[in-house]
Structure 1
Amino acid sequence: MASQKAIIFEDYFPEMVDKLGAEGFMKELSNGFHLLMDIKKGVITIESLKMNSALLGLQGMSDDEVMSMIREGDLDGDGALNEMEFCTLMFRLSPALMKNSKDLLEEAIFSEL
């Protein structure tokens, strides 16, 4: 039986929020979205995610894994991630941010006023 390599996920998002604040963190998420998106379509597609997967350290992902990532966040069923879907997915993938999401939202809103 072959041994499987365990994937260890460390959630750095809470530390980023502490250092950058809610507004700075949302700007970083937006920057991440723009790095991964298909420039012509303005969304993250399966193709653009595969092409840019090395930026995430995920260059060995199979097509099925890439498609699963897109499906996980695709709220409107169009087969791609717009910026809001991407940001929502990033929050959902961070248990600590989900706990504090109301506080972060209020901080972001108040910084805009």
Structure 2
Amino acid sequence: MEEEKPESSIEFEDLLPVMVARLGTEGLMEELCKGFRLLMDPAKGVITADSLRRSSATALGLGGCITEEAAASMVREGDLDRDGVLDQMEFCVLMLRLSPELMHMHERWS
């Protein structure tokens, strides 16, 4: 059963097409890179499940609401080379994949 979102809930995938329209492709990529740097483990230069949990708790102000299991699942979803972490390219691909509307817009641009 699909989880129902509150009517006032705004998700990342809802905002991505708006971000592209306002920032342009280059601006969007710059913002995605900033997001990557915010979530990455500075010592490793990649996003790990631990860095995702820490960053979401501190920088994003989400408290402890991302469990270890949820963080690991998020990393697995975008981990294209199966090394257990997200590099910058994998993170950007994941963010774009999360927005089906943006992918549909891309098909029209091609």
TM-score, scaled relative to structure 2: 0.81
CA distance in 2, matches of 1:93, 1:58: 23
The SS at the match of 2:20 is: helix
Structure 1 pair 88/58, CA: closer, same or farther in 2 (3 Å)?
Answer: farther
Q: CA deviation at 1:59?
A: 3.6
Q: CA deviation at 1:95?
A: 1.0
CA distance in 2, matches of 1:95, 1:14: 10
Does the alignment pair 1:18 with 2:21? yes
Question: 2:55 corresponds to which letter in structure 1?
Answer: N
Question: 2:90 corresponds to which letter in structure 1?
Answer: E
* Contact 2:79-2:85 within 8 A present in 1 as well: yes
Q: CA deviation at 1:53?
A: 1.2
Matching residue within 79, 84, 92 for 2:97: 92
Structure 1 pair 45/6, CA: closer, same or farther in 2 (3 Å)?
Answer: same
Q: CA deviation at 1:100?
A: 2.1
Backbone CA RMSD of aligned residues:
2.0
C-alpha offsets along residues 2-27 of structure 1, whole Å, 9 cap, x if unaligned?
A: xxx84445310100111100100010
Does the alignment pair 1:77 with 2:77? no
C-alpha offsets along residues 60-111 of structure 1, whole Å, 9 cap, x if unaligned?
A: 01111110000000000110000000000001101111112353xx7xxxxx
The SS at the match of 1:12 is: helix
Greater shift after overlay, 56-65 or 21-30?
Answer: 56-65
Greater shift after overlay, 58-67 or 19-28?
Answer: 58-67
CA distance in 2, matches of 1:50, 1:14: 26
The equivalent of 1:42 in structure 2 is 45
TM-score, scaled relative to structure 1: 0.79
CA distance in 2, matches of 1:98, 1:56: 29
Tell me the matched-pair count.
100
CA distance in 2, matches of 1:58, 1:9: 19
